[in-house]
Structure 1
């Protein structure tokens, strides 16, 4: 299926994520780019809470239910805004900046967003190939099937709504907001198309909107930093490309994309020039935005703390310094001590909190030295997998360094330097030697450098935008031309010096788990195999239950053909001894009675076989824990009957355990 065919769905998904949150914020008094940038976070927060509420009340999760709930919240926001007088408060016009953007300045943003967002969208589409091309990263399998599960059960609650992914043997907390929104997105014929399209929306729309909003409040007196942001953002491969392809962590990617807009709203909410009514009104919007970041993925809380604590600390100590100068030194010192103790106390609690501890204890290897990680950060080379260096981002790194130098003059931007240093240090800790005791601090993000590196981009892009605006004004001044000319020259230089905004690198990363064979970390599906899976809905009976090695591709039957499978995800399903037996000993079904008992208990009717091995040219994904299913070769006869094949894979009707003698 071509991307043109899903264009209506793409547009609908953009509107679904952007408009409800924007409407709520606008009615609460937030205006312009800030409302657009923070709006998706509010939508996400509202959707997450609605999904949990609907799950408790037994209301099915459908598009109409989501829209009805969002409409009610918009109505409440209108009432609150009217009661507080914040909807029409003049302060809302300038809350996102010291002055309102002129029409011509808004016009400048159109071509830069079209360029930056267009490059991100086009490279993702090019790398994925087709809208219905399945990603083959480990996590992608889980997320595709989780979305399909929601369409069937009508339960998108993060509190156990994804229990079918665990064979209904467990109902754990799992952040299901992304899955819920994608599941009800209109205009898509299947789960794959909707999920793949969400990558484009997250990267080219939500991420850039949040960064533009943040630039607007960080550099309130100037429009040019916000105008340059889309181009600068497109020069980084670290996000969104790595997040939505190699890692395939859509919930985490959504949470990360929501962080800039939420921090922008935080800055606006804390402006001293606002009345208490505006503070309260914006605070309500901020609460929903924070909820969106955290419900999208719990690690978003730590992302906000990492990037937001420097800002809050700077703002607090500025206020305390004013109090000290006014003669209230004791009070200032007491408040400072309380703040430090509060931060330490919260971090101590989180480090020892059970669910958080389980994330922090996730074991992940590192490199022997910090130098490779430092080199990758400098040129924006992926900190995961082994990719060819087809382009580098050294020019933007130089702009970041220029921004750091200029922050000596820009006092209001110094918190960005602190946030940048913090994110870089944690990234290097995750990427470096595993025996460093401080490495535990990276555990909030699964000790994965390629996740932490995404957070580096937020302060880095802000500093580069400020430096770029300063440089553009100098270029224009030296030529005796308007600043627009200097900005245009800078944009052209950025495009040229980054090899077309890293086009080849973006495409390489996206294609590595979609269309470039062998697939990174091992191939699960060949092109002909995908066609076989898509035919399965017609080939197999409605009551079919398919057993196959998960990494060989069998889980894709669930969301692409609606065919039930024994293993809906690649990770083992706990508390299922029958599945464990089949994983380890299915090839012994003739001699081991326990195997047939497990087959009958799970209702297995068909077997998914795949002869593609780890040593073949296509380099099949290998999993040592499923040796009972690995390279299983059925033989046509009374026990097995082939019903379809595609590439190295085949589907077989299985009767070997039908009798009671086995």
Structure 2
């Protein structure tokens, strides 16, 4: 399959993410950039919430069921929008068409550059990602396909009835399964398509909305935001290869839109396109979408939101002081600080986040080098993005002189830099209270940097253009009338020209760095792959030799777990570190003793295991968890196993040991 053949399915994926949200946006009075920028977040909130409700109601997950729910929600939004249309709660003037058109047209160059990177790094839409987390995400899609259930309340166990379920945000998997159900795409194709849409559509749209709220109806700013948004490698490109953190990527793709909502409700906007009333409603939607996509988004936006919220509290306290209500202002500020402190302390100490906080990644550079990485947008020792980084630094000066609202963005950028330095260069037990929400992982924290870097880069180009125009107009009278319109057009032309020059000089916004980061998750050399092409062919061959309802045991580290994804045959161990029952623990360590140990045989019968699959991969051979699966090695000619099929190191055995007693008694 090639990328051209995947275009129809790609459009369907985009439709799932955009159409429900856009319909609701327009019905509540939003238009243009505001309507489209909030759409993916709204659609995800509906889709993921529907998955939870359908399972609780005992209704199977299907594309038709989701469509029905979307129609109902859109109808309700239409009624609400009609009833509240004339109220101030929805007050905000739609943008002139030229403003929206400039923003949308400005998305196109970035989308082209982004798609080129995707095609160069992921040569075909059905190429497998060969990383640690990919196995869980693939098999989660397989589980949804088989069970017709997609709730975030039960997905974590992947259908294992032996262990209790815990919450796991499933929006990415819900969306991926809808792509499969509505297009017939395979699991690898659906996974890649969702990721592509999140990268080259959701993220630029989200950045465009943030720029719209920060720069107002500035045509030049909006025309260049979409392209610049795809030039920073730390996000979205790094998360396409590292992990692989697909749900995190999807959630962070709409993080700028969530931040735009914060600026809206705190009234730090240049020219509001949303409205404070709609902003509060959108904030509720954002919390639902983030919580069901990846809670990381809530923490990331929460950090960046501290500054507009804090600034609004400070401004309000000053207004109260001038009105003779100093004590009230102080009380409000102290109450807000205490509340924020209590929330931080709870999340930093509660057992609910213990597993997240206790993850450890060893530091890999000095604090000074980590700061330098941020300044040069070269996190994790990648290529320095010199010219783009200079533009961002110029944007810091623009915040000081030309665009004061960007000072809040600068503060957020500094805070993210601090958190990145903690993980990349220090990462001690005492720093976990600050970085534990991101698994103490520098990649997840680096992904926050472009949220603030994009508007700073836009501000930098605006600042440079303004200085060039001011120098060329020295001594001339201020233009009026048609001359003013020409001057505005000239300004926009210069801004777009500067952005275009940046793209050209950097060879397409540093495409090699983007490609290298993405390729890291796909071009894994054998035998460190999960499955190579020969193993994939073997899985397709043995699919007909395994009954549809059979359960297959195998060591996930040698690739056997991918049988569920690639051949739709359920495996006992669908991930490397899944929580297991005592019987499953026994099978993992002692299946090779099934002919001599009655307890193992009892466990095999209770669990319904019929086959053992031995793969040829050697994924993460240094992982201590390999020992846990020691009973699933190739049994060779050991009693209790019958060789069904083989291809090199890949072998399929039928477990016959537990049939022996019943056969003897019948005779």
Instruction: Give yes or no for contact 2:135–2:562 (8 Å, CA) kept in 1.
Output: yes
Aligned pair count reads 643
Greater shift after overlay, 108-117 or 294-303? 108-117
Aligned pair in 2 of structure 1 residues 358, 547: CA closer, same or farther (>3 Å)?
Answer: closer
Greater shift after overlay, 10-19 or 237-246? 237-246
Structure 2 counterpart of 1:655: 656
Aligned pair in 2 of structure 1 residues 516, 489: CA closer, same or farther (>3 Å)?
Answer: farther
Aligned pair in 2 of structure 1 residues 478, 166: CA closer, same or farther (>3 Å)?
Answer: farther
Q: Secondary structure at the match of 1:206?
A: helix
Which of 604, 607, 617 is residue 602 of structure 1 equivalent to?
607
Q: How does 1:144-223 map to 2 (within 5 A)?
A: 144-185=138-179, 186-223=182-219
- How far, CA to CA, are the matches of 2:363 and 2:18 in structure 1? 38
Greater shift after overlay, 446-455 or 489-498? 489-498
Structure 2 counterpart of 1:458: 451
Structure 1 counterpart of 2:388: 396
Structure 1 counterpart of 2:483: none
Instruction: Give yes or no for contact 1:636–1:642 (8 Å, CA) kept in 2.
Output: no
Instruction: Give yes or no for contact 1:146–1:165 (8 Å, CA) kept in 2.
Output: no
Structure 1 counterpart of 2:112: 118
Greater shift after overlay, 172-181 or 311-320? 311-320
Structure 2 counterpart of 1:561: 567
Structure 2 counterpart of 1:97: none
- 1:310 paired with 2:303, answer no
Greater shift after overlay, 438-447 or 600-609? 600-609
Unaligned 5+ segments in structure 1 are: 95-99
Instruction: Give yes or no for contact 1:360–1:443 (8 Å, CA) kept in 2.
Output: yes
Aligned pair in 2 of structure 1 residues 25, 370: CA closer, same or farther (>3 Å)?
Answer: same
TM-superposed deviation, 1:260:
0.7
Unaligned 5+ segments in structure 2 are: 474-486
- 1:259-280 Cα distance to aligned partner (Å, 9 max, x none): 11122133234449999x9643
Which of 608, 633, 636 is residue 634 of structure 1 equivalent to?
636
TM-superposed deviation, 1:536:
3.4
Aligned pair in 2 of structure 1 residues 14, 22: CA closer, same or farther (>3 Å)?
Answer: same
Structure 2 counterpart of 1:236: 232
TM-superposed deviation, 1:437:
1.7
- 1:426 paired with 2:428, answer no
Aligned pair in 2 of structure 1 residues 414, 11: CA closer, same or farther (>3 Å)?
Answer: same
Structure 1 counterpart of 2:543: 537
- How far, CA to CA, are the matches of 2:116 and 2:34 in structure 1? 26
TM-superposed deviation, 1:592:
4.6
Aligned pair in 2 of structure 1 residues 292, 153: CA closer, same or farther (>3 Å)?
Answer: same
- 1:149-184 Cα distance to aligned partner (Å, 9 max, x none): 122222221112443354552211111122112112
TM-superposed deviation, 1:633:
5.8
- How far, CA to CA, are the matches of 2:622 and 2:501 in structure 1? 42
Q: How does 1:468-507 map to 2 (within 5 A)?
A: 468-475=461-468, 482-507=490-515
Structure 1 counterpart of 2:246: 250
TM-score, normalization: structure 1? 0.89
Greater shift after overlay, 190-199 or 337-346? 337-346
Structure 2 counterpart of 1:358: 355
CA-atom RMSD in angstroms:
3.0
- How far, CA to CA, are the matches of 1:518 and 1:478 in structure 2? 59
- 1:415 paired with 2:413, answer no
Structure 2 counterpart of 1:49: 49
TM-superposed deviation, 1:88:
11
Which of 442, 457, 461 is residue 449 of structure 1 equivalent to?
442
- How far, CA to CA, are the matches of 2:56 and 2:471 in structure 1? 64
Aligned pair in 2 of structure 1 residues 497, 581: CA closer, same or farther (>3 Å)?
Answer: farther
Instruction: Give yes or no for contact 2:363–2:425 (8 Å, CA) kept in 1.
Output: yes
Instruction: Give yes or no for contact 1:29–1:89 (8 Å, CA) kept in 2.
Output: no
